[in-house]
Amino acid sequence: MKKIFLILLVFGVASTALLAAEKKSITKKEFIDSNIKKLEQQFNAIDSNKDGKMTPAEERAYVQRVQKARLLRRNLAILADTDKDGKVSKEEEKKLLTKMDVNKDGSVTPKEQENYYNKNKTKK
């Protein structure tokens, strides 16, 4: 559990560092206030049974979900890169999002992303 909070703190520091660069300085209170909400959201995402405690099993499950989502995102980027230049252009991204949004509600759910990838992963 300590590892996940350390990771969260590093991400929080990085995002707050950008804020500090724009303002030239940041107070301790501003730093804490800007990161507390992110940490609470992160904790709530990990605490799957919502008992107010984070167990090692919940942490492992969360890390696995994050890794799975990153892998899916990387694989979708490969599918989106139709000209195979190693980059996903705005046009390629828009085409992919349109194809994945099967119910045409303007939003692509994680399930739509997974379904699209599973149907198209062998196509080259």
Residue 81 lies in a domain: yes
Same-domain check for residues 50 and 77: no
Tell whether 38 and 80 lie within a shared domain. no
pTM of the model: 0.65
8-12, 42-46, 92-96, 105-109, range with the lowest pLDDT: 8-12
DSSP per position, the chain: -HHHHHHHHHHHHHHHHHHHHHHS---HHHHHHHHHHHHHHHHHHH-TT-SS---HHHHHHHHHHHHHHHHHHHHHHHHH-TT-SSS--HHHHHHHHHHH-TT-SS---HHHHHHHHHHHTT--
Tally of structural domains, the chain:
2
pLDDT(9) > 50: no
Does residue 112 sit within a domain? yes
Between 38 and 124, residue with greater pLDDT: 38
Report yes or no on 107 lying in a domain. Answer: yes
- Residues 24-79 have pLDDT tens digits of 899 999 999 989 999 999 999 999 999 999 999 999 999 999 999 999 999 999 99
Please indicate, yes or no, if residue 66 is contained in any of the structural domains: no
**Mean of per-residue pLDDT scores for the chain:** 86
Whether 94 is in a domain gets the answer: yes
Both 50 and 76 in one domain: the answer is no
**Is the confidence at residue 124, as pLDDT, over 70?**
no
Asked if the structure places residue 63 within a domain, the reply is no
90: pLDDT strictly greater than 60: yes
Does the residue 60 lie in any domain? no
Whether residue 65 lies inside any domain: the answer is no
Question: Which of 12, 27, 54 is the endpoint of a domain?
Answer: 54
Range of the domain at 86: 72-120
